Structure formats: structure tokens, C-alpha cells
């Protein structure tokens, strides 16, 4: 992929809308825009809005009215010359505009290529580029907050701090080794070990943060498991809020597995309905069951659906035994029918409390949603960030005096300055 040619792309989502935006980035952005947008003056002022006509230079026909904004590189998103054309959100107009631009020599940008250029040109670091992609695809407020913090550099700052601390520890360890025969104690062994342990914990937190962060972006995987006919598919439809899979009194109706995305108490979830376990299953169903076994192993949480109107069976106990207690959430379904299940039947649950629901009437489903979310939050605690994402002070300092710490942060690199008017004291981070 070339990285120095001129690219163009529709920046707004597909379909009809009030406004449609096309962006052009690269050395010829302005020259191309001039051939499709009747622009006066010849050289537009950067960051000003111009109103004009979109014209097809091949037949000189005007096909829409639009606004043009010119961002002169490097003060643009990609750090290159960048033009934004805001026309009406008609798919026909946008397609024609893209057609004209490619005829004039622009290349259609690949997905994420504008952000790639911003990264290659040093406008964003890799964590921020990823933050932008996560921000665009965030499905929940929690995902949005996380992507926003990454975008503002929280992850980069934490990585930089850890690197600084590691280098300083390495230097001090080397000095201690060099002077080992002298009587002068340079650095105490206990202090160095203590710092190494703290660093190890922070690195561990960062790794744990990646786990929970990736779930917040891509969804937690929650698998409905249990014997055939206990009501998994009915519960699946209830949790989704619409009928997605077939439900039938005939056992073995679900022979495959089905995955749907849903937001449960603010968390993005990939909910999976599986084929139940039946000894007399046919070939297709058996294949579905072996897949279910793999799904059980990979799930962040397994909702074990038991039929409360029947006695539990060894199959129920066998499924429960395949999942550790912290990944298991038992559900007693069919609460609308008289209960036949006994406490002794449920001894295999090893004191993990079960939630009573009726997938038929919807009773208890709200409680179940809350319990699924709590169980996921308990397993994937996001680590407390150690660096404020607006200034590089410790979050502890920053929480005590957020305005003071943030207001004095350098506007370029966010390093703490003695006061708002002082120059930035950081020579390593801040390159004026
Ligand atoms: N009375 C009652 N019947 C239910 C309930 N949930 C499911 N069923 C019925 O149980 C049968 C099996 O349900 P289904 O969702 O296909 O079970 P699956 O095999 O575990 O997916 C169907 O006839 C459902 O209507 C419930 O809460 N109460
Ligand atoms: Mg089913």
C-alpha cells in the first residue's frame, strides 16, 4: 500500500442522511478539490468553511451544493493536506463525487487508512490509533469511556512510565553491581527488590486491563448450556428481546449454535445458544454438541439452564462439573410450573446460588441480566489507571486536586509544569 499518494473516502455511514462527508488526504488534495468544487478564492484559508457547487469536470454539470474545509498539513487529522467536502447525504451524490475524484487520480482509501496515515506521520501513537478504531465501534458507554481514555493517551502514558521505571531500576542495579566491593552502599538490595515487585504488579495490572479492555471492545462471551429442552433457546430469545431461534417441545430443536450481540446492564455481550446434551442425538446434533463442549471451555461465563419442573439428572451434574465455580451461573428455568427439583439434586452446584426464572413469562429475566453483568464485572475488573489521562500526574494526586494538576499540564505533552505559564520542564517528551 502506498503511503504518499492522495486518497479519498466517504467518511459518513452508508445509506441516506442529512449530510454526507468525503475526505481527501495527500499532496494533491487541494488540487483535486479545486477541479470538483467551484472555489473562490483560489487558495482557501485553512479551517474556514466555504460554500460552493460540486461540479463534474467531465460534463461540467453541477450535481450538488457543498461546504469545503481545508486543513493544511501538518495541522490536520492525517498531518497531510486534507480536504473535507460536506454535501447532502445522498448515496448517489456521494458515489458520483467518489467517481469524479478517482477519475481525477485519487485512490479509494482502504478501511482505517486515514488513521494509519495519522499514525505513520506521528500525529497519533499506536495506542491512540487503536483507541480511535475502538471509539468508532464502541457499543456501550463503558466501551466509549475506555476508548476515550486510550485516545487521550492513558495507555501510552502508563507504558512510558513503566519503561522509565524499568530503565531506572536497571541502571541502579548495574551501579550496585559495579560498586559491590566498595563499602559504600549505593542502593539497598531490599529497596531494589521492593521496586521490582511493584513494577511486576503494575505490569500484571496492565495485562489484566488488556483482558477486560478487549472484552469491553469485542464483547464478553456468555454461553447458555444445559440438557435439551430445559429452555435455553427460550431464554436466549428473552435475553435478546426478540425471537431469534426456534423453540419447540421436541428435544433436539437446536442442533447447532447461534451467537447474537446484546447489551446486558451496560456490558456488550456475545450471547451463545448451544445444542443441548442428549445421549440419543443424531450425527448433526452430536457435531453441535462437541462444538458446545469447546464453547463451554472458551466462555467467559456459562449460564447453566436447569429445568426446575423436573428432577435434575447426572447430565446436569456433568455439565456443571466441566466449569469452574467463578465461570458458572446456574438458572432454574420454568419457575411458572410446580417445582420438582430438590436441594439434594442441586448439591453439584457447590453452593453457587441459582437464579429462578421463567423464560415463558419473563419473570426473573431482569434479575438474571443483572447477575450476568455482575459476574462478568467481578471476573474482569478494569485496573485503576495510575496516570491521569489529561496530565501525567499520578491519579492519586490528580483526584485530590484535579483542576490544579490538569490545568498546569503542558498543552503539548501533558507533563506537569510548576504553573500554567511555566515552560515545559520535560526535555524527553516535549519536542517543541
Ligand atoms: N412452562 C414453561 N415452559 C418453557 C419455559 N421455557 C421453555 N419452555 C418450553 O420448553 C420447551 C423447550 O424449550 P427450548 O427453549 O426449545 O429448550 P432448549 O432445548 O433448551 O433450547 C418448549 O416447549 C418451551 O416452550 C418456561 O419458562 N416455562
Ligand atoms: Mg434449543
**Across all residues in the chain, what is the average pLDDT?**
83
Kindly list the distances between the CA atom of residue 97 and the CA atoms of 51, 108, 312, 387, 429, in Å, as whole numbers in the listed order. 16, 12, 65, 45, 42
**Ligand 1 atom with least separation from CA of 226:** 20
CATH, domain range 7-123: 3.30.1360.120
- Cβ–Cβ under 8 Å, residues 278 and 227: yes
The DSSP-derived string for 273-333 is: E-PPB-TT--HHHHHHHHHHHHHHHH-SEEEEEEETTS---HHHHHHHHTS-GGGEEEEEE
Mean pLDDT calculated for residue range 339-354:
86
Task: Look at domain 125-218 and name its CATH class.
Answer: mainly alpha
Mean pLDDT calculated for residue range 91-98:
96
Is the pLDDT reported for residue 349 higher than 80?
Answer: yes
Q: Rounded to a whole number, what is the distance in angstroms from the first to the last CA of the chain?
A: 31
Specify the pLDDT at position 54: 95
Give 400's pLDDT tier (boundaries 50, 70, 90).
Answer: very low
> In 3D, which of 268, 320, 263 has the Cα closest to residue 134?
268
| Sequence-distant (≥ 6) Cβ neighbours of residue 189 within 8 angstroms | 176
Distance 358 CA to ligand 1 centre (A): 9
- Cβ–Cβ under 8 Å, residues 226 and 354: no
Q: Provide the CATH topology of domain 219-379.
A: Rossmann fold (3.40.50)
Best mean pLDDT range from 105-109, 225-229, 278-282? 105-109
234 vs 152, more confident: 234
118 vs 423, more confident: 118
Number of H helices and E strands in the chain, helices first, is 13, 12
**CA–CA gap between residue 376 and residue 269 (Å, rounded):** 10
**E strand or H helix at 356:** strand 355-356
The ranges assigned to domains in the chain are 7-123, 125-218, 219-379
- Cβ–Cβ under 8 Å, residues 137 and 217: yes
Mean pLDDT calculated for residue range 316-336:
92
Domain 7-123 shares a fold with domain 125-218: no
Give 389's pLDDT tier (boundaries 50, 70, 90).
Answer: low
Grid cell of 399 as nine digits = 483526584
**Ligand 1 atom with least separation from CA of 234:** 15
228 lines ligand 1 (CB under 6 A): yes
7 lines ligand 1 (CB under 6 A): no
Specify the pLDDT at position 247: 67
Amino acid at each position: 500500500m502506498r503511503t504518499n499518494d492522495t486518497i479519498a473516502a466517504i467518511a459518513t455511514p452508508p445509506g441516506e442522511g442529512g449530510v454526507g462527508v468525503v475526505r481527501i488526504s495527500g499532496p494533491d488534495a487541494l488540487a483535486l478539490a479545486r477541479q470538483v468544487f467551484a472555489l473562490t478564492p483560489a487558495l482557501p484559508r485553512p479551517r474556514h468553511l466555504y460554500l460552493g457547487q460540486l461540479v463534474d469536470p467531465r460534463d461540467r454539470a453541477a450535481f450538488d451544493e457543498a461546504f469545503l474545509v481545508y486543513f493544511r498539513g501538518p495541522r490536520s487529522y492525517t498531518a497531510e493536506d486534507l480536504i473535507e467536502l460536506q454535501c447532502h447525504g445522498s448515496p448517489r451524490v456521494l458515489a458520483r463525487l467518489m467517481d469524479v475524484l478517482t477519475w481525477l487520480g485519487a485512490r479509494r482509501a482502504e478501511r482505517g487508512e486515514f488513521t494509519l496515515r495519522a499514525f505513520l506521520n506521528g500525529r497519533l501513537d499506536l495506542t491512540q490509533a487503536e483507541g480511535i478504531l475502538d471509539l468508532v465501534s464502541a457499543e456501550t458507554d463503558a466501551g466509549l469511556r475506555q476508548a476515550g481514555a486510550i485516545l487521550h493517551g492513558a495507555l501510552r502514558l502508563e507504558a512510558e512510565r513503566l519503561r522509565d521505571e524499568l530503565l531506572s531500576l536497571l541502571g541502579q542495579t548495574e551501579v550496585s553491581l559495579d560498586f559491590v566491593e566498595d563499602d559504600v552502599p549505593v542502593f539497598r538490595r531490599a529497596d531494589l527488590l521492593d521496586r521490582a515487585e511493584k513494577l511486576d504488579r503494575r505490569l500484571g495490572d496492565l495485562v489484566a486491563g488488556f483482558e477486560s479492555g478487549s472484552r469491553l471492545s469485542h464483547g464478553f462471551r456468555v454461553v447458555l448450556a444445559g440438557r435439551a429442552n430445559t429452555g435455553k433457546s427460550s431464554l436466549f430469545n428473552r435475553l435478546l428481546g426478540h425471537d431469534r431461534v426456534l423453540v419447540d417441545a421436541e428435544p433436539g430443536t437446536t442442533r447447532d449454535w447461534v451467537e447474537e450481540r446484546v447489551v446486558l446492564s451496560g456490558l456488550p455481550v456475545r450471547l451463545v445458544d448451544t445444542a443441548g446434551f442428549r445421549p440419543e442425538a443424531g450425527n448433526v446434533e452430536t457435531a453441535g454438541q462437541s462444538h458446545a463442549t469447546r464453547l463451554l471451555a472458551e466462555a467467559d461465563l456459562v449460564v447453566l439452564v436447569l429445568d426446575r419442573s423436573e428432577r435434575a439428572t447426572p447430565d446436569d451434574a456433568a455439565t456443571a462439573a466441566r466449569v469452574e465455580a467463578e465461570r458458572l451461573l446456574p438458572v432454574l428455568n420454568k419457575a411458572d410450573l410446580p417445582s420438582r427439583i430438590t436441594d439434594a439434586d442441586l448439591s453439584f452446584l457447590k453452593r453457587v446460588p441459582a437464579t429462578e426464572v421463567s423464560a415463558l413469562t419473563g419473570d426473573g429475566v431482569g434479575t438474571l441480566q443483572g447477575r450476568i453483568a455482575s459476574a462478568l464485572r467481578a471476573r474482569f475488573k478494569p485496573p485503576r489507571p495510575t496516570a491521569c489521562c489529561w496530565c501525567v500526574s499520578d491519579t492519586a494526586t490528580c483526584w485530590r486536586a484535579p483542576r490544579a494538576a490538569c490545568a498546569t499540564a503542558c498543552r503539548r505533552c501533558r507533563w506537569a509544569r510548576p504553573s500554567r505559564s511555566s515552560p515545559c520542564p520535560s526535555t524527553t517528551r516535549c519536542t517543541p
